[in-house]
Amino acid sequence: MSQGDDGRRICPEPPRRCPADGERLDGWGFADSGFRVRANGAVELEGGRYDLAGTELPDLLPWVSRTIGVALDPRETNPSQYPPAIPEPRENPDFLGEVRKFLSDDAICDDPESRLRHGHGHTQQEIYAINHAQLARIPDLVVYPNGVEQVEALVAAALQHGACLIPYGGGTNVTQALMCPADEERVIASVDLSRMNRIRWIDPENRMACIEAGAVGREVVDSLAQHGFTMGHEPDSIEFSTLGGWIATHASGMKKNRYGNIEDLVLDISAVTAAGVLERSGVSPRESVGVDLRHCLYGSEGNLGIITHATVKLFPLPEVQRYQSVVFRNFEAGFAFLYELKQQATPPASVRLTDNLQFQFSRALKPASVGLKRLKGKLEKFYVTRIKGLDPDEMVACTLLFEGSREEVAAQESALFRIARKHGGFKAGAENGKRGYELTFAIAYIRDFMIDYYLLAESFETSVSWSQALSLCENVKRKIHEEHAARGLPGVPFISCRVTQLYDTGVCIYFYFAYYYKGVDRPSEVFAEIEHAARDEVLRSGGSLSHHHGIGKLREGFLPEIMSAPMLEWSRHIKRAVDPQNVFGSANCGVDGGKLPR
């Protein structure tokens, strides 16, 4: 660590990645973590990274079987066929020769599995394809620049020799944003920014930091904490996603209530485009200098250039961090609580309300209890169901995370529990609150685990006004049941929702959909058809096309439904103006070389 040129800035050492932190190539997460079925039929999360790891989960498969109306047999699986057939790379000797002038040999990779990994994100269609089918087009090579100058040289080489560049951060997107256009004839180079992962400087006096775009969330959190700060941005994918990806997808995080969304945290953005580098001489608290080009980069999804670094706000580490949870009679009561909480008080950093099905799911993920823990569990159940009179088939839970000074947290807790009592809610304990918050990271592994047992699953999100939120939830759930029944699919679908972020005018809602696909022709395509119908229902019910996942290629067909013709034309004009040769040919957000819609 060293001081910056002005004596006030801190320049942290680059992050040191542990070899054990390797990621899986065939699905989500770390290579040393994942669910498996034990010989006795209980499920276990392997590895030691998560609190849930190493304990038996005897209720998970039986609960899933009851919920979907199909008896899952642990011995009956659809094992992964990874890796699939991998397309041969296309060649452009002139481009490659130019790249070799400024990139070392270890910064240029044409390994088939590395190319495959850089050609997909984490939608169910992509994960199903790499395990049970194949991808038609993937990058022809992967390059690893280590600074802005090398990114500039890559863009210049692509312009000169007719190559296509697609930026790659953490590979966590769920919109097919990394899938290569099948009709792309040029050589596609995936520009992996993992070597541009430093926090360049921290300004403790002005509470700012300059961070490179390839910095991974978990490393940003750890490095800033060593100096007493936090950025406060914690998306569900924080273990693997990057700062550049957060900006390019217009991301949101679990602590949005306290720290804001990504656009509230970023003060300045630098990017390399086909016309050169977008950068400014300094960062001010606020300014009015004409059209703010930074806003074009939020949600740009690789279409306009490669984000290289950004200056972000910092916050002191909170004096207090406290978990809690509240249980309500039903989803409607919990939702009414959220509305009053937002209108009359300051919500804690994170507030998430699950519906009953997700509440049951979290219970199914509890380890087997023995001795005093088992007795405690029975007493808690007796208190909730007999004394409080809550129905296990209707009750819901709200998990809470408070952060701030002792005074702030105390005031927030006092107001929140006063409002909760008005709506029939009562405390369910800090342990349940912490467990609910941290389950977010462990349960991310379940979807890919369940594919082997003939379950396809995916999440999708929206934002919606307060007045339309409950009806939207009902309509989307009904639509999925109708689409499932109309196709004569086995069992019943799993469809649940939770409220994850609060705004003055509405909320963000996450949906989780799964269905049993054994015996179903084209199961991944059928899933996509149902999800498409559900998203159509989201729009009809007043929801947004996306809250923070972005558009990619998955949602581009809906753009004409939410934008006027002049708005779509502006998107074309911007793309043509800043990238006339379509060097950044990701074809996301419906923009393909300036053509929109397709």
In terms of C-beta distances under 8 Å and separation of at least 24 residues, what long-range contacts does 575-582 make, across chains too?
575/303, 575/304, 578/273, 578/274, 578/275, 578/304, 578/305, 579/273, 579/274, 579/303, 579/304, 579/305, 580/274, 581/159, 581/162, 581/274, 582/164
- Which residue type occupies 292? D
pLDDT the model gives residue 432: 92
pLDDT the model gives residue 144: 98
Which helix (H) or strand (E) is 321 found in, with range? strand 320-328
Clarify whether residues 436 and 484 are in a common domain.
Answer: no
How many domains in the chain? 4
Share of the chain above pLDDT 90, in %: 88
Domain that holds residue 413: 320-444
Express each pLDDT in 557-569 by its tens digit.
999 999 999 999 9
pLDDT the model gives residue 317: 98
Residue 92 lies in a domain: no
Task: Round the average pLDDT of the chain to a whole number and report it.
Answer: 94
Task: Please choose, from the candidates 146, 193, 188, the residue with its C-alpha nearest in 3D space to the C-alpha of residue 171.
Answer: 193
Q: Are 128 and 451 in contact (CB under 8 A)?
A: yes
- pLDDT band, residue 591 (cuts 50/70/90): confident
Clarify whether residues 393 and 491 are in a common domain.
Answer: no
Is 454 one of the annotated active-site residues of the chain?
no
pTM: 0.95
3-class secondary-structure state, position 318: coil
For residue 598, pLDDT over 60 is answered with no
Clarify whether residues 538 and 564 are in a common domain.
Answer: no
In this structure, what CATH number is given to the domain that contains residue 346? 3.30.70.3450
In this structure, what CATH number is given to the domain that contains residue 264? 3.30.465.10
Clarify whether residues 285 and 216 are in a common domain.
Answer: yes
Express each pLDDT in 290-329 by its tens digit.
888 878 999 999 999 999 999 999 999 999 999 999 999 9
Clarify whether residues 223 and 239 are in a common domain.
Answer: yes
CA 277 to CA 273: how far, in whole Å?
A: 6
pLDDT the model gives residue 592: 78
For residue 384, pLDDT over 70 is answered with no
* Tokens at 161, concatenated: 């020799």
Query: Which entry of 510, 515, 516, 517 is annotated as an active-site residue?
Result: 510
Clarify whether residues 266 and 339 are in a common domain.
Answer: no
In this structure, what CATH number is given to the domain that contains residue 538? 3.30.300.330
Clarify whether residues 464 and 550 are in a common domain.
Answer: yes
Q: Are 473 and 497 in contact (CB under 8 A)?
A: yes
Express each pLDDT in 526-574 by its tens digit.
999 999 999 999 999 999 999 999 999 999 999 999 999 999 999 989 9
pLDDT the model gives residue 597: 52
Q: Are 532 and 515 in contact (CB under 8 A)?
A: no
